[in-house]
Amino acid sequence: MSILQIALDVPLPRLFDYRHDGDLPENAVGRLAKVPFGTGSRVGVVLGVVEQSDQPAEKLKSAELLGELPALPADWLELCRFCARYYHHPLGQVMAFALPPLLRKGKKPRPIKPKVGAGETAEGRRASNMETAPSSNAATADQAAAIDAIVKASGFQTFLLHGVTGSGKTEVYLRAIEAVLARGGQALMLVPEIALTPQLESRVSARFPGAHVVSAHSGVADAARARAFLAALEGRAAIVLGTRLSVFMPMPALRLIVVDEEHDASFKQQEGLRYSARDVAIYRARQRDIPIVLGSATPSLETFHHAESGRYTRLELPERAVAAAELPTVVTVDTRRQKLQDGLSAELIAAVGERLRRGEQSLLFLNRRGYAPVLACPACGWISHCRRCAANLVLHLADRRLRCHHCGLEATIPHHCPDCGNLDLQPFGRGTQRLEAKLAEQFPEARTLRIDRDSADSPKKWQALLAAIHAGEADILVGTQMLAKGHDFPKLTLVGVVGADAALFAADFRAPERLFAQIMQVGGRSGRHDLPGAVLIQTEYPDHPLYRALVEHDYTAFANAQLAEREGAGFPPFAFQAMLRAEARELKEALAFLHAAVSSAPTFAEVLLYDPVPMRLARLKNRERAQLLVESRSRPALQGFLTQWMAALYGLKTPRELRWHLDVDPLEF
């Protein structure tokens, strides 16, 4: 009798032993197996076959191998093991996360009729012998040098493709992918959450008409996702294009990984397995001994630091690819010297008016949705707050609701103050809806379009909005960062940045980095074609170094200044961090757990534990939350510490209601 060691989707860092009756196929490791567990059954992954179990043989239950599904390859299993080790997450849960839901249930997707063209198509085609539709443009000299370096790389090498907005980074990716496909390899291209649009999918498919391109993101239906996974696993899919979770696509002939907009926060998952897809992708490239390209106009400081130190190879595209396109002119408007009209300066209003006369588009960037962040009573000081979170309810006038942006709680707008009865409740502050209303009033003849998560709350609406902008059906766009990435609107020549100052003084040490990237990205939408573009930043701090660097288009100066500050303060990338978080019904329970965690921590000279503190959003959905930061100058020391510490933490007695997790390399504080 053989004993199978199986990884199951349970929150325990161990494998489970099961019996296998009858003949065992040769390659049992990596196969899915259905096993009885508790009162039901589960599907897990076989990770080992042994003769002996720690448990008495008669106690072992029997596993059923799911033979009709292909075995998962060894490098995929190892990738999951790495994530389990590095993020200190139970291996069975890592695998359950990495598998498409259908396979996790032990089901095989029904095949679809092959159809060649785009998206999930051309089942059965080999990845080799690819015809490609050549790009109509000759590569610029900078592009050619970058492509050449990537194509010539032998073995593992990390490239930072640092190119200004519109410099033709995508073209570099596509040509590097072309070279990989010509040699029969597979390529993986990761893009941020909202950058993965049908436009990008069709751009890639159109470029490789004979190739089987699959896309993978959370919006793909279960059956399609499972088919994409199998197509990648069986080597039929030549290109996998997807958001962070596609870093887990098994690809036996993987020869190149691209991470576009590598600085984007959506590559880090904020729940369950808190992995960074960019970092996992780098591990994977090393594991497979292949090149990886990290592309951005505003690289993360971690990546920039590695390029400075020479660990990553820097490739630069300092100019826009379209010959006639220049980088936009960036200016600040000092708003201390004038009275704003509903948040808009005379300069910005005039600039929008001029674009209207010329038949060009303007985009006003305000990273706050809703009408106003809070509704308040001037008589008694009442404000609209969420009863489940330590946060305000945001006023949404479009559908006349108050809404919590953290937990989704909704309420009707009160007709009078709930505390004192005052009828005159006032909105405070400004969101995209209010800006939209103001613009409609100021420019009644213009067609104004608002783009945020409310107006684009489904992929369908989002596509419709993008199509309307492309068709020139809007003169003024008002939007959040949804519009910042990847889009190319030929008639857009003005970007106005409104209400960005608050982020200059946020407590989070990463806030300036994010703000700089956002403004540079959104400003980069302007003047991408033959019309010159402008960016106008309204601020009370026109001399702030962050804005000065934006005016100068000087990412490098900004990055170096930030790195110097971080080095002085001992922040990443000069230190490595992990965050232990706990949530409970009462704050004191969460804090008590964290204090117990401190007491049970092993002593490591190089590892520093901070005091447990309430999280910035201390209450979310009626749960009180606290956190404990752990830091070290040495990654191996931190990892060694965490491994020992986690074993102790799993042994701590906790109140039934308490939940805790560890976040390695946290982005949110």
Q: Considering the complex, what minimum distance in angstroms separates the CB of residue 469 from ligand ADP? A: 15
Q: Which does 413 bind (CB under 5 to 8 A by kind): Zn ion, ligand ADP, none?
A: none
Residues 394-433 that bind Zn ion (CB under 5 A): 404, 406-407, 409, 417, 419-420, 422
Under the criterion CB under 5 A, does residue 380 sit at the interface with Zn ion?
yes
Please name the amino acid found at residue 42. R
Q: How far is the CB of 391 from Zn ion (least distance, A)?
A: 6
The smaller minimum CB distance to ligand ADP, of residues 324 and 423, is found at 324
- Look at residue 6 and give its three-state secondary structure: strand
Q: Which is nearer to ligand ADP, 161 or 474 (CB)?
A: 161
Nearer to ligand ADP, 179 or 251 (CB): 179
Q: What is the DSSP string of 147-211?
A: HHHHHH--S-EEEEEEE-TTS-HHHHHHHHHHHHHHTT-EEEEE--GGG--HHHHHHHHHHSTTS
Taking CB within 5 to 8 Å according to partner kind, which of ligand ADP, Zn ion, none is near residue 137?
ligand ADP
Least gap, CB of 330 to ligand ADP (angstroms): 17
What does each C-alpha distance from 635 to 69, 234, 250, 662, 665 come to in angstroms?
38, 36, 28, 16, 10
| Burial state string for 173-184 with b = 16 or more CB within 10 A and e = fewer than 16 | bbbbbbbbbeee
The secondary structure element, H or E, covering residue 87 is helix 74-87
Q: Which does 422 bind (CB under 5 to 8 A by kind): Zn ion, ligand ADP, none?
A: Zn ion
Q: Which does 409 bind (CB under 5 to 8 A by kind): ligand ADP, Zn ion, none?
A: Zn ion
Q: Closest approach of Cβ 511 to ligand ADP, in Å?
A: 24
If contact means CB under 5 to 8 A according to the sort of partner, which of Zn ion, ligand ADP, none does residue 407 touch?
A: Zn ion
CA–CA distances in Å: residue 588 to residues 388, 555, 595, 600, 607 = 17, 44, 10, 18, 25
Nearer to Zn ion, 282 or 620 (CB): 620
b/e map of 80-101 (b: 16 or more CB within 10 Å)?
A: bebbbebbbbbbbbbbbbbbbe
DSSP state of 109: P
Binding piece for Zn ion, criterion CB under 5 A, among 207-215, 234-242, 377-385, 429-437:
377-385
Integer Cα distance of 4 and 21 in angstroms: 10
377 scored as a contact of Zn ion (CB under 5 A): yes
Residue 342 or 530: which CB sits closer to ligand ADP? 530
379 binds Zn ion (CB under 5 A): yes
Residue 138 CB, shortest distance to ligand ADP, in Å, is 6
Which residues here bind ligand ADP, judged by CB under 6 A? 137, 139-140, 143, 163, 165-171, 321-322, 488
Per CB under 5 A, does 385 bind Zn ion? no
Nearer Cβ to ligand ADP (485/619): 485
Give the nearest distance from C-beta 461 to Zn ion in angstroms: 24
To ligand ADP, the closest distance from the beta carbon of 317 in angstroms equals 7
What letter would DSSP give residue 394? E
The neighbour count for residue 551, using CB atoms within 10 Å, is 14
DSSP state of 612: P
140 binds, options Zn ion, ligand ADP, none, Cβ within 5 to 8 A by partner type:
ligand ADP
Q: What type of residue sits at position 432?
A: T
> Does 389 help bind Zn ion (rule: CB under 5 A)?
yes
Task: Find, among 361, 336, 332, the residue nearest to 348 by Cα.
Answer: 332
H or E segment to which residue 355 belongs: helix 346-358
Residue 379 binds which one of ligand ADP, Zn ion, none, with CB within 5 to 8 A depending on kind? Zn ion
Q: Which does 165 bind (CB under 5 to 8 A by kind): ligand ADP, Zn ion, none?
A: ligand ADP
Q: Are 638 and 578 in contact (CB under 8 A)?
A: yes
Helices marked H in 391-479: 432-442, 459-470
Choose among Zn ion, ligand ADP, none what residue 583 binds, the Cβ cut-off being 5 to 8 Å by kind. none
Which residues lie near Zn ion (CB under 5 A)?
Answer: 377, 379-380, 382, 386, 388-389, 404, 406-407, 409, 417, 419-420, 422
